[in-house]
Chains A and B, each alone.
Chain A
Amino acid sequence: MSQTDTRKPTLREWLLTDTPTSRFHARMAALYNGWLTLRSNTMAMIGLGILLFLLLIAAFAPWIAPMDPLAQDLGGRLAPPGTDGHILGTDSLGRDILSRLIYGSRITLYIVTLVAIIAPGVGLLVGTVSGYIGGWTDAILMRITDIFLAFPRLVLALAFVAALGAGIENAVLAISITAWPPYARIARAETLTIRNSDYISAVKLQGARPLRIITKHIWPLCISSLIVRVTLDMAGVILAAAGLGFLGLGAQPPSPEWGAMIAEGRRFILDSWWVATMPGLAIFTVSLAFNLLGDGLRDVLDPKEGGS
């Protein structure tokens, strides 16, 4: 199977090789193979496409949005879609709904990014320490994890926000506090299987300390299963954030947060359906995209879990 010709391989051949020549080469080859599998999954690619689109919209919001999302026009309030250049209509203060949705994508991405960093981070730390050290540390940390798992997530988040006060940062905090335990479980399970493997013994014999073993040799191996879980969880995070916003506990007015926009449109639902409908569609699209991408990633990174 080895290549005998001496010409320089193309990038594609270089990436598809069976005999990587360096660590970097091997890593790139693995990534490319994963990408090829993911690319063949149409649904996952649709999800990825939607998310990239959202990213672009959020990045270029000031240039894309046709109007100022906060500019009120009481004369043109509750205008149906299509009136006066308001493609999606206006809300009860005459603000352009499309512009508010576009700016709202920034808030959604902000929340999702923060939770996606905090929750798996905490979970990874707790899970690997718990799994590697074992004994009492493990017992206590896992009990704590169980306690947080025992709460219904939204209700716990509600109670936290009630105590901390309404606002975006507190909503992020509350969602993260309720979201980390599953990551800790996953990281612990991975650690337990890795802990006794030969290469860890080898590193130990070379004199590596637990801190180094955990951060350099265990963390990298936990990452792929965490990524899958994060992607699948993001839909839930978006829904939770929107739920908090809807109850008036997340982003505060006049901020164009999608959940809060639905809450505002609720009062006019029977007469002006578009005010609540449009932000709901936006939430639905984005969380659907995360679900699609998560399913695809699971097939690539974690084939044993895949359903089909």
Chain B
Amino acid sequence: MAVAENNGTGRRASPRFLKVLVKILKTLGSVLITMLGLMFVTFLIGRVMPVDPVLSVVGERAGKDVYDAAYRAMGLDKPILVQFGYYLWDVLHGDFGISLLNARPVAEDIKRVFPATMELATLGTFFGVFIGVPLGVVAAVKRGSWIDQVARVVALVGYSMPIFWLGLMGLLIFYGILGWVGGPGRLDIFYEDLIPTRTGMVLVDSLLAGDWTVFKNALSHIILPASILGYYAMAYISRMTRSFMLEQLSAEYITTARVKGLPERTVIWRHAFGNIKVQLITVIALSYANLLEGAVLTETIFSWPGIGQYITTALLSADMNAVLGGTVVVGLIFVLLNIFSDLLYQVFDPRAK
């Protein structure tokens, strides 16, 4: 499509640039609205909960005047939109309230636990990309062969398996029976606090400290949860790669390239694969966002002190500030990754009109 549009003569170049700019501004506008809506939804969730927020602060025994004072101090006598304004103001200033569980600011807690999740999701995405992309390409090239069938089954199983159960089975087999990997947690207990915390990601920190034994121990702990997350990423990425590749391989320019006598490897990897790179990057960004979600259950299984475990522990102790703070943060990152992949596509792929 859009063949005539892209005749990049000098005269047309600047309107195209303007068009991209307008598109970016539009996207940013809708992002802002989406984020606002996201925070409004979390705010409302916080309001419909059956727990009385005032009581949880002042306690059951407080007198009526204390209760009323706290009620007003929390702004609960104001209209709901004004309350939302206050909430927004706080969130924009990085204030998610105080955790009821440990009386620390929720924002600080989230900052502390987030690197653990990032470490896990990043490593998982690496696995997903390094196995998923080649698998998808081969499945598309050898369509209908046994390897295509295997790829299909692998993906189907990935879509159908409860991630927390797979985690448990992994622990049972690789930790309990075979003893190949470390158990739950990020480090064995006697390695903890041996290295200074810089990034909060144990693998990186131990490398920075140059401590190989800690690094090895951390690796043995992260390898299982990361490969389980990676399996889900791989299922998704390989399927998408396959369908992108099939689309390219059936195009006429591929036939031309083959007729010209180019080696098959060049046709596949330079021509066809070269054309799906942008699409692939958007898929990878989306799969990274999905891994953040998958991390919630995986972290619970592996006692991984990340944001997923933070949210679920908070849930079970009805610590609503912590739950909502975690939800907003994960939601915002999710939106940002989506937008990022969308923008990337808009800017680098001329086919996206």
Spell out A's residues near B (CB within 8 Å): 143-144, 146-148, 150-156, 158-165, 235, 239, 242-243, 246-249, 259, 262, 265-266, 269-270, 273, 276-277, 280, 283-284, 287-288, 290-292, 307-308
Question: In the complex, which of the residues A159, A249, A266 has the most CB atoms of chain B within 10 Å of its own CB atom?
Answer: A159
Residue of B nearest to A288 (CB): B160
Interface hits, B23-48 → A, CB 8 Å = 30, 33-35, 37-38, 40-42, 45-46, 48
Specify which of B50, B169, B172 is in contact with A165 (CB 8 Å cutoff).
Answer: B50
Known contacts being A270-B172, A280-B168, is A235 close to B160, with CB within 8 Å? Answer: yes
Q: CB distance B334 to A151 under 8 Å?
A: yes
| Chain A residues within an 8 Å CB radius of B300 | 246-247
Tell me how far the C-beta of A262 lies from the nearest C-beta in chain B, rounded to whole angstroms: 6
Q: How far is the CA of A288 from the CA of B168 in the complex (A)?
A: 19
Q: CB distance A284 to B160 under 8 Å?
A: yes
| 14 pairs, A vs B, C-beta closer than 8 Å | A147-B33, A148-B41, A150-B34, A156-B41, A158-B312, A161-B315, A162-B49, A247-B316, A266-B301, A270-B176, A283-B162, A287-B159, A291-B160, A292-B156
Chain B interface SS verdict (over half): helix
| Chain B residues within an 8 Å CB radius of A152 | 289-290, 292-293, 330-331, 334
| Chain B residues within an 8 Å CB radius of A276 | 165, 168
Q: CB distance A242 to B48 under 8 Å?
A: no
Q: CB distance B42 to A259 under 8 Å?
A: no
Tell me how far the C-beta of B24 lies from the nearest C-beta in chain A, rounded to whole angstroms: 17
Specify which of A159, A164, A262, A266 is in contact with B324 (CB 8 Å cutoff).
Answer: A159
| Chain A residues within an 8 Å CB radius of B327 | 151, 155-156, 158-159
Tell me how far the C-beta of A210 lies from the nearest C-beta in chain B, rounded to whole angstroms: 27
| Chain A residues within an 8 Å CB radius of B30 | 143, 146
Specify which of B38, B46, B316 is in contact with A163 (CB 8 Å cutoff).
Answer: B46
| Chain A residues within an 8 Å CB radius of B50 | 163-165
- Is B318 at the interface (CB under 8 A from chain A)? yes
Q: CB distance B38 to A280 under 8 Å?
A: no
Q: CB distance B160 to A154 under 8 Å?
A: no
Tell me how far the C-beta of A140 lies from the nearest C-beta in chain B, rounded to whole angstroms: 11
Across the A-B interface, the 8 shortest Cβ-Cβ residue pairs: A147-B37, A280-B165, A152-B293, A288-B160, A163-B49, A287-B160, A270-B176, A159-B327
Specify which of A159, A246, A262, A307 is in contact with B45 (CB 8 Å cutoff).
Answer: A159
Question: In the complex, which of the residues B160, B171, B290, B331 has the most CB atoms of chain A within 10 Å of its own CB atom?
Answer: B160
Tell me how far the C-beta of B124 lies from the nearest C-beta in chain A, rounded to whole angstroms: 15
